[in-house]
Amino acid sequence: MRKGELTRTAILDEALQVASRTGFSGLSVGKLADQTGLSKSGLFAHFKSMDQLQLQLLQRARDRFVDSVVRPALTVRRGEKRVRAIFDSWLEWSDVELDGGCIFVAAAVELDDRPGDLRDALVQAERDWLELLATVAGTAVAEGDFAEDLDTAQFAFEVHALMLGHHHASRLMRDPRALTMSRRSFESIISAARATR
């Protein structure tokens, strides 16, 4: 990786931490320049505009999510074990990866009624994620772990809704039972999805 790319990645990683705590609208060029040790003009040399910075920040978040959650899970055997690996890695991402919790949850709340390229990119990321969850559930059906008539889109919706609830309970409510309750709810979803043998 060239020096310019390394610098851009470092800026994006710092911006990701900030955005996870304050949202995309909480990013300011001055604050980011101070935290990265760059001048404002040096910062803008990498991104040209705040809109471009935000779009590249969302892409960096996607890349990190794939590296932390998706790729490790895809090395696990297909079927229920892979579904569990995705859920476990996702919990870790939500609770450990960023100071302010899951950037996608924060962005969804901030951008849900704000049209534009950033919202469109987030919507596409969420659609891709739900499709991946449904696909992984589908492989569990193909492997005989889940019922043949499982509605994989509904399964993906329920697991996704559970993670939104987990984020709310753990980040906003600071409920010490959040992890235990989330895991219990996940087991209920898995149990309902299983093939009867």
Q: Where are the domains of the chain?
A: 3-193
Compute φ and ψ for 52, nearest 5 degrees: -65, -40
pLDDT at residue 57 greater than cutoff 70 = yes
Res. 184 pLDDT band, cuts 50 70 90? very high
CA distance 85 to 78: 10
pLDDT of residue 17: 87
Does the pLDDT value for residue 138 go beyond 80? yes
- Please tell me the predicted confidence (pLDDT) of residue 197: 60
Answer yes or no: is pLDDT of 47 > 80.
yes
Query: What global pTM score does this model have?
Result: 0.91
Contact 126, 144 (CB under 8 A): no
Closest listed residue to residue 59, CA positions, set 1, 128, 131, 2: 128
- pLDDT of 1 reads 59
Over range 104-109, report the average pLDDT. Answer: 91
The whole-angstrom separation of Cα 97 and Cα 89 is: 10
Q: Apex CA 181: angle with CA 110 and CA 154, to 5°?
A: 65
Q: What span, in angstroms and rounded, lies between the C-alpha atoms of 67 and 73?
A: 10
> Class for domain 3-193, per CATH?
mainly alpha
3-state secondary structure of 194: strand
